Amino acid sequence: MSSLLDGLSAEQRRLLSDAPPGAELAAAPMLAQLSDRREFGTDWIFERKLDGVRALAVRQPGAEPVRLFSRSGQNINSTYPELVDVLGAQSCADFTVDGEIVAFSHGRTDFSRLQRRMGLTDPRRALATGVAVTYCLFDLLALDGYQTTKLPLRVRKSLLLRALDFREPLRLTTHRNQGGQDLLDQACSRGWEGLIAKRAQGRYRPRRSPDWLKLKCARGQEFVIGGFTEPSGSRTGFGALLLGYYEHDQLRYAGKVGTGYTEAMLRTVRARLDDLATTAAPFADPVRERHAHWARPELVAQLAFTEWTRDGMLRHPRFLGLREDKDPREVVREEPAKEQRISR
């Protein structure tokens, strides 16, 4: 057992187990639930909510030096070669970590800027974009051949801090030990996406869990693209994207979004939708758009919006970018979790 793990208490060491192959451990990341809860006890910690792409990194002796996986399990080494390099240069040779890849702009995470790197599979082209990325780590799933997911979160974070050398483009995600509405207000005033509240003694569970809660400054989520309208005037590509989410295996219509695009994105998305063209509407609900073009529901868009209308449509939606790391079938309407009993 490594010197770091030797420092655990006897009770904590009993929670360790032999780590499975890294790709298996990284295949099912823990996910947060959207919540409108704003009061918390002392058994919660609070991290900055980052607007990027989720990634788990694996380094094991005898295997490929480092493997970087998206949330959906795709190998993204070629997209972020500088992250592979910094992780491969660590003195610790056996670890699995969880974090978020982001691009910063004026101190804020900028998903639109990150879009220029996402999906590229040629390392030279990825670096030539000039978009610097940062890998913000917040959890440790395995260390030196042992699975650490059953250890309390505070212990995992302490091990993560000591196991790796944090230098750019690698950062440790810091946290606060107290939080609630005041801390969220501060985060929103700084232009952050919000906060993630986590149970300090919680285990790492490979599913969406109420032990991790998303506290958002504004509404926003992913939607499946099921079609588009024709552009008008001097606009190129398309007029608006037709959007939906899954409910009981049916794609429910949620409205359209016509703002937030660059000229390049209008052309790129139109080309991809043309490749997915179909004659049948993929939505379970009627869509009252004249001359709509339909597409197989395989692309996922990230949107910001103000609220849901009474008839289940998006109000004031704005396109932020495509999500290459999300399975369309996992896209559902996100609703805040019900208020839970406050821990004292």
Is residue 292 a contact partner of residue 230, using CB atoms and an 8 Å limit?
no
Structure tokens at 303: 């949107």
**208-216 and 31-34 as β-strands: parallel, antiparallel, unpaired?**
parallel
For residue 218, how many other CB atoms are within 10 A of its CB?
Answer: 12
Count of CB atoms situated within 10 Å of the CB of 228 = 24
Q: Which residues contact 239 (CB under 8 A, 6 or more apart)?
A: 228, 229, 230, 231, 232, 258
3-state secondary structure of 225: strand
* 66 C-beta neighbours (distance < 10 Å), count: 20
Dihedral of CA atoms 251, 254, 257, 260 in degrees, nearest 10, equals: -90
* Residues carrying an active site annotation: 49
Q: How far apart (Å, rounded) are the C-alpha atoms in residues 143 and 153?
A: 14
User: Do 54 and 74 contact (CB within 8 A), yes or no?
Assistant: no
CA angle in degrees (0–180, nearest 5) for 210-213-217: 155
238 vs 287: CA distance, rounded Å: 17
- List phi, psi (to 5°) of 117: -100, -30
- Phi-psi category of residue 157: left, alpha or beta, with phi > 0 → left and psi -120 to 50 → alpha: alpha
Number of Cβ atoms within 10 Å of the Cβ of 295? 23
Give kind and range of the element (H or E) at residue 320. strand 318-322
Q: Which of 103, 31, 133, 23 minimizes the C-alpha distance to 68?
A: 23
User: Which amino acid makes up residue 14?
Assistant: R
State yes or no: cis peptide before 336, omega within 30 of 0. Answer: no
